[in-house]
Amino acid sequence: MKHIPAHRLADLVAGNWNSHSAAKAREHIKNCSHCLGAMKRIEVGRQAMGEIASADSPELGWDHIATRIYWSTSSERRASEREEPSAWRFGGRKILRNGFVAAGACCALVVAAYMGLYPSSADEAEQLAASPAVQVEADTSKGVSEPMLEPAKPVAENLQGVITFAGAEVVMNGAALDFDSLVRQGSRFSTGEGELVVQFGLHNSFRLAPQSTLWLQSFDSQSVVLDVVGRIDIDIEKRGAGQEFVVVAGEQRVVVHGTAFRVDFRETRLDVSCTRGKVVVSDGQEQVNVPAGQRFGIIDSEWQDVALRALPIRADRLALLDAEMAMPTLAVWNPGNPLESSSVLQVKSAGEQEVALDGIALASGDFLVRTSSGRHQIARVNSDGSVADGNWYDVEAGQQVSTSLAMSLPKAVDKSRRARAIRKRELKQAINARGKVSRCLAPLEKQGLMAGAYVDFEIGMNSDGTQRYLNIVGSNLSPVIQRCLRTAVSAETLAVGGSAEFSLHLAF
Amino acid sequence: MHTMTSEIDDKRMAQRRDEADLIARCIAGEPAAQEQLYRTHNRAVAANLYRVMGDNRDLDDLVQEVFVIAFRGLPKFRKEARLSTWIYRICVNVALGRIRTKTRKPPPILKADPVGEDRRSGVGLSPETPEALLVREENKQKVYRLLDKLTPKKRMVLYLHEIEGHDLKEISYLVDANPVTVRTRLYYARKEFYKLLAEENEDAI
């Protein structure tokens, strides 16, 4: 006799069978050790479920939560009061089309108040008013106060940046990059295979990753607004009062006060990771705080489908991210003439050979790096991460020195091939372990249509274990199942390892 | 009998009027009204979230999220359900969002908490050994672990039906889905969940 399905056993435990069928089933269970064991486990499980249903709320910091709710709602109210009447809707959310700078300033102000960075007297009064007991007192103090004089706005001075690193195929303002040109408001960059690092103060710099574009919408001492598509790493010192720093990524803004963080915005996906300080991601209506060591991501601008919270970054990934975000910058900064006392090293190393400057691994391929005048060592980085003995170069201010390093092409190929094989194996294991793929195929399996089904993926895996891209290049499955499979595979995040691009054939 | 029924109806009407008044004051931005609404529902919200999620990590954040959404959505509240039901619906959706995005964290370290446990389950008078309490707590954690294996939508429907005891109509309102869809989802969820439960190692549950 067939065993009784588990969900039917659950019905039996719940008393949902008629007496005749129940008696027959119990007779079977008495003689079937499999069903008997299953029934016992279900009984215990259902008992536990009953206890769960009667669980009461744990004690929480109710007053603290109340204050946070008050602040969240009142911040929104203030923000909405500042909104222009021409607000429009996009993707089911109301956002402002015009004036990212103005909106960014409002947002920065709101965020600053929210973060408690600039507690104005009004904010303080509102904070006090969160408790009805002190509301009267706060109102009274407001009533007798004289009209506040608006403080004089500080004069915005244009910022100047210098390019401290540039890889291959970097384009500035539509033309080939002139490494000695200064970066100013309105500058536009696009990177091909190489990266770009710009420094605009002793402790302020950003790095534009390969295949990214950047427009410096605003670039002065009071407002820096960077419009980016692709990935950008930013490391800035704490902003002064009234200063804003905003990264515009599509319809989202990443507002920052002084921090190191990464914004990765490609097509419809935004990922913000923060390694130091705190940033706030906002679409004009919703906002999410991303403190140090956390990340926040959205896909298709669908804020409503995500829990509005940042998630912790795993310790190993955080360490890797921190290391990746280190940028080659000048140790001395002259605001009047930033190019003064710096020199340029041009390094040519064919293929993937990684090169170190003064003992620190910098990049691979051809690149230009700006450094202070003096003596510098350029060396190859071995496959185990150690730095080989290199050559010393004396460079004077304003001078450009070129060098080329020999490389071992076979080694690089081996490394890449090995990384591909490892990553492919890891991904397959991860997919099998989760069983999500089989869930996607359940309808087909039910109909007995599995034989011969296949899907071919093209995958780019980053060294931190996240996926750079994922494409389906061939399949005989329906689009719905393909989409499901793609979602299942894209959800996989591997351990830190090699960066690799590979194809994956899944046959069922 | 008739008098008693009419008294209950009157009481219910008065409650509705109070609720409508409270909502109107909240929409007008009256802090005291918002405070009152929060104090009335905070424990129920936290309890619901606690039961859905299975632990109290980030519970305060989730409670905050529910109330922020509630205050923001109050002007759109159509009064087709009780305010408490509407807030419960928000809880369900917030929990669903959390389940969707939550990373696989290691389960909290289990500890026998006789006093707390007794208080919660109302069995303070029964002399249970710490071992028995620990086993009960472990069984609950295992239920949550199995729930974790379901897709978020299935998990939620199963939870609402099997643990909270809601019927299909109520669930369809709470998860904003067609009752037929809910029924299908529940069928597969039960099948999957009880199969997992039945296949647990004999000494596991």
Window 310-339 of A: residues touching B by CB (8 A cutoff) are 311-312
In chain A, whose CA is at the least distance from the CA of B32? A132
- CATH code of the domain containing B25: 1.10.1740.10
pLDDT of residue B108: 45
Residue B74 covered by a domain: yes
- Three-class HEC string of chain B: CHHHHHHHHHHHHHHHHHHHHHHHHHHCCCHHHHHHHHHHHHHHHHHHHHHHHCCCCCHHHHHHHHHHHHHHHHHHCCCCCCHHHHHHHHHHHHHHHHHHHCCCCCCCCCCCCHHHHHHHHCCCCCCCCHHHHHHHHHHHHHHHHHHHCCCHHHHHHHHHHHHCCCCHHHHHHHCCCCHHHHHHHHHHHHHHHHHHHHHCCCCCC
| pLDDT value of residue A325 | 84
- The most confident of the ranges A296-305, A368-377, B166-175 is B166-175
Q: Do A73 and B72 touch (CB under 8 A)?
A: yes
For range A480-506, the mean pLDDT = 83
Weakest mean pLDDT among A32-41, B109-118, B122-131: B109-118
The Cα-based distances of A338 to A15, A206, A334, A400, B170 in angstroms read 81, 16, 5, 16, 67
Give the number of domains in chain B: 1
Q: What is the mean pLDDT of residues B82-101?
A: 88
Strands (E), A78-222: 88-90, 93-95, 161-166, 170-172, 175-176, 182-183, 188-191, 196-199, 205-208, 213-219
Q: What is the pLDDT of residues A210-222, one digit of tens each?
A: 888 899 988 888 8
Separation of alpha carbons A381 and A351, rounded Å: 13
pLDDT at residue number B74: 87
The nearest alpha carbon in chain B to A35 belongs to B198
CA angle A151, A157, A160 (to 5 degrees): 150
CATH of A342-407, one of 2.60.40.1120, 1.10.10.10, 2.40.50.140, 3.40.1710.10: 2.60.40.1120
* CA distances to A125, A410, A459 from A163, in Å: 46, 33, 32
CA of B11 vs chain A CAs: smallest distance (Å):
27
pLDDT tens figures, A382-401: 777 777 777 777 777 666 66
Class of the CATH domain delimited by A410-507? alpha beta
Does B117 have pLDDT greater than 60?
no
* Stretch A457-465: mean pLDDT: 82
The CATH architecture of the domain made up of A67-142+218-326 is Sandwich (2.60)
Determine whether B201 is exposed, middle or buried from the number of CB atoms within 10 Å of its CB (0-12, 13-18, 19+): exposed
In Å, how far are A127, A138, B7, B193 from A123, measured between CA atoms?
Answer: 6, 11, 48, 51
H-helix or E-strand containing A63? helix A62-82
- At residue B106, φ and ψ (nearest 5 deg) are -65, 145
Residue A326, both tokens: 């280190």
Identify which has the larger pLDDT, B48 or B135.
B48
d(CA A313, CA A309): 13
Whether B91 has a pLDDT exceeding 70, the answer reads: yes
Residues of B in contact with A307 (CB under 8 A): 65, 94, 97-98, 100-102
Q: Do domains A342-407 and A410-507 have the same CATH topology?
A: no
Give the pLDDT of residue B186. 92
Q: Which of B46, B139, B194 faces A57 most closely, judged by CB atoms?
A: B46
pLDDT at A502 over 90: no
Give the lowest-confidence range in A124-133, A150-159, A254-263: A124-133
> What's the pLDDT at A437?
79
pLDDT, averaged across chain B: 79
Average pLDDT over residues A17-34: 86
Instruction: Write out the two tokens for A433.
Output: 């372990």
Closest residue in A to B203 (Cα) is A41
pLDDT: is B121 or B171 the higher one?
Answer: B171
Residue A204 Cα, gap to closest chain B Cα (Å)? 33
Q: Is A492 helix (H, G, I), strand (E, B) or coil?
A: coil
The yes-or-no verdict on residue B33 having pLDDT over 80 is: yes
Tell me if B29 and A68 make a contact (CB, 8 A cut-off). no
Edge-to-edge strand ranges of the sheet holding A467-475 = A467-475, A454-461, A500-507
pLDDT, position A430: 84
Percent above pLDDT 90 for chain B? 18
Q: Residues of A with CB below 8 A from B143's CB? A: 45, 48-49, 52
Residue bearing the bigger pLDDT, A14 or B13: A14
> Is residue A451 predicted with pLDDT exceeding 90?
no
Q: Where does residue B205 rank: exposed (0-12), middle (13-18), buried (19+ CB within 10 A)?
A: buried
How far is Cα A211 from Cα B63, in angstroms, rounded to an integer? 41
Query: Looking at beta carbons, which residues of chain B come within 8 Å of A9?
Result: 194, 198
pLDDT reading at A409 higher than 90? no
CB-CB contact of A239 with A257 (8 Å): yes
Does the pLDDT at position A305 exceed 60?
no
pLDDT surpassing 70 at residue A118: no
Residues of chain A contacting residue B51, judged by C-beta atoms under 8 Å apart: 52-53, 55
Per cent of chain B over pLDDT 70 is 80
pLDDT at A111: 37
Q: pLDDT tens digits, residue range B65-90?
A: 899 888 888 888 877 778 888 999 99
A112 has pLDDT over 60: no
At residue A80, the pLDDT reads 56
* Sequence-distant contacts of A483-488: CB under 8 A, at least 24 apart: A484/A439, A484/A440, A485/A437, A485/A440, A485/A441, A485/A455, A486/A457, A488/A431, A488/A434, A488/A436, A488/A437, A488/A439, A488/A440
User: Which of A48, A49, A60 shows the shortest C-beta gap to B59?
Assistant: A60
Greater confidence (A70 vs A370) lies with A370
The whole-number pLDDT of residue A265 equals: 79
Domain ranges of chain A: 6-53, 67-142+218-326, 342-407, 410-507
Contact B190 A61 (CB under 8 A): no
| Residue B79 phi, psi (nearest 5) | 60, 25
Q: Kindly list the residues from chain A whose CB atom is less than 8 angstroms away from the CB atom of residue B139.
A: 44-45, 47-48, 51
For the residues A419-446, what does the mean pLDDT come to? 81
3 state DSSP class of A74: helix
CB neighbourhood size of A131 (10 A): 16
Higher local confidence (pLDDT), A167 or A104 = A167
What's the confidence (pLDDT) of residue B156?
92
The answer to whether B107 and B145 are in contact (CB under 8 A) is yes
B35: containing domain: 1-105
Q: Is the CB of residue B161 less than 8 Å from the CB of residue B147?
A: no
pLDDT on residue A399 = 65
Quick one: pLDDT at residue A302?
A: 60
Strand partners, A210: none
DSSP A302-359: -GGGS-S--EEPPHHHHHHHHHHT-----SS--SS-TTTTEEEEEEEE-TT-EEEETT
A32, A34, A41, A78, best to mutate vs chain B, most B CBs in 10 Å: A41
Residues of B in contact with A309 (CB under 8 A): 58, 61, 65, 101
Return phi, psi of residue A341, to 5°.
65, 15
CA distance B8 to chain A (A): 27
A276 versus A147: the higher-pLDDT residue is: A276
| Contact flag A307-B142 (C-beta cutoff 8 Å) | no
Nearest to A275 by CA among A251, A254, A257, A259: A259
Instruction: For chain B, say whether A4 makes contact (Cβ under 8 Å).
Output: no
Of B51, B164, B190, the CB nearest to A10: B190
Instruction: Give the pairing of strands A223-235 and A205-208.
Output: antiparallel
Please state the φ and ψ torsions of residue A294, each to the nearest 5 degrees.
-130, 165
Q: Predicted confidence band at A208 (pLDDT cuts at 50, 70, 90)? A: very high
* Cβ-defined contact of B151 to A439 (cutoff 8 Å): yes
* Mean pLDDT (whole number) for B129-149: 84
d(CA A273, CA A261): 6
**pLDDT at A109 exceeding the cut of 60:** no
The closest alpha carbon to A186, from A227, A206, A224, A216, belongs to A216
Q: Are the CB atoms for A263 and A114 separated by under 8 Å?
A: no
pLDDT reported for residue B204: 44
DSSP letter at A70? H
Instruction: Give the pair of three-digit tokens for residue A98.
Output: 């015009």
Parallel, antiparallel or unpaired: strands A161-166 and A367-372: antiparallel
**Residue B166 or residue A337, greater confidence:** B166
> What pLDDT sits at residue A252?
78
pLDDT for position A328: 85
CA distance B18 to B15: 5
Give the ipTM.
0.80
CB contact under 8 A, B72 and A48: no
**Residue B66 placed within a domain:** yes
Of A92-96, A177-181, B14-18, B182-186, the least confident: A92-96
pLDDT tens string A309-329: 788 888 778 888 888 888 888
Mean pLDDT, chain A, whole residue set:
73
Dihedral pair phi/psi, residue A267, rounded to 5°? 50, -100
> Over 80: is that where the pLDDT of A27 sits?
yes
